[in-house]
Structure formats: structure tokens, C-alpha cells
């Protein structure tokens, strides 16, 4: 079954959001692991929060709920940590 042009664009946007979100979380982890910045910084928590929200969006759009559940918790942890930093 071939997708319509608008559905293909929507699918592509969802995939891009998913991959960019993965990249944000990996970037955050790498930056902390290589001592570029500490885990107790707003930058680290914001990268994790935005990455988790993007993965939640992608997972729900794909009806793949295990990554969504994991990233809801991940986003909440990042949000709480960010609130404590402010």
C-alpha cells in the first residue's frame, strides 16, 4: 500500500523528530561522560527533556508504547531536576 504525499510527509516529519530526539539524548550523555558539562546543569536536563518529549511523540505516533512509557519517566526526571536547579 502506497502512502499519499501528505502522509509520506507526515511520516518523514515523525521520523526526523524521532531521530533528532535520540541524537539529543546521546549528545547529553556524551557531554556528561566526557566532562564537557556536569549532569547538574540546566543544559544537560533540557537536552534530556526535549529528547524524551520527542521520543514520546514518535513512539505514540507509531503506537509503540514501551519507549513512550520509558521516556515519560525520563522527561519527568529531567523536569524535576531542572526545577531543582532553578
Q: What is the pLDDT of residue 61?
A: 97
pTM metric for this prediction:
0.89
Predicted confidence (pLDDT) at residue 1 exceeds the cutoff of 90: no
Core vs surface per residue 50-80: b (16+ CB within 10 A) or e: bbbbbbbbbbebeeeeebbeebbebbeebbe
List of residues 6+ apart from 13 with CB closer than 8 A: none
Helix (H) or strand (E) holding 22: helix 5-33
The tens digit of pLDDT for each residue in 10-61 reads 999 999 999 999 999 999 999 999 999 999 999 999 999 999 999 999 999 9
What is the average pLDDT across 73-84? 97
Q: Environment class of residue 17 by beta-carbon count within 10 Å: exposed (0-12), middle (13-18) or buried (19+)?
A: middle
Amino acid at each position: 500500500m502506497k502512502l499519499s504525499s501528505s502522509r509520506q510527509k507526515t511520516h518523514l516529519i515523525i521520523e526526523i523528530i524521532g531521530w533528532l530526539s535520540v541524537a539529543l539524548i546521546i549528545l547529553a550523555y556524551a557531554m556528561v561522560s566526557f566532562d564537557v558539562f556536569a549532569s547538574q546543569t540546566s543544559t544537560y536536563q533540557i537536552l534530556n527533556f526535549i529528547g524524551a518529549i520527542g521520543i514520546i511523540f514518535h513512539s505514540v505516533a507509531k503506537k509503540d508504547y514501551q519507549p513512550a512509557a520509558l521516556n515519560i519517566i525520563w522527561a519527568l526526571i529531567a523536569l524535576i531536576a531542572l526545577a531543582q536547579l532553578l
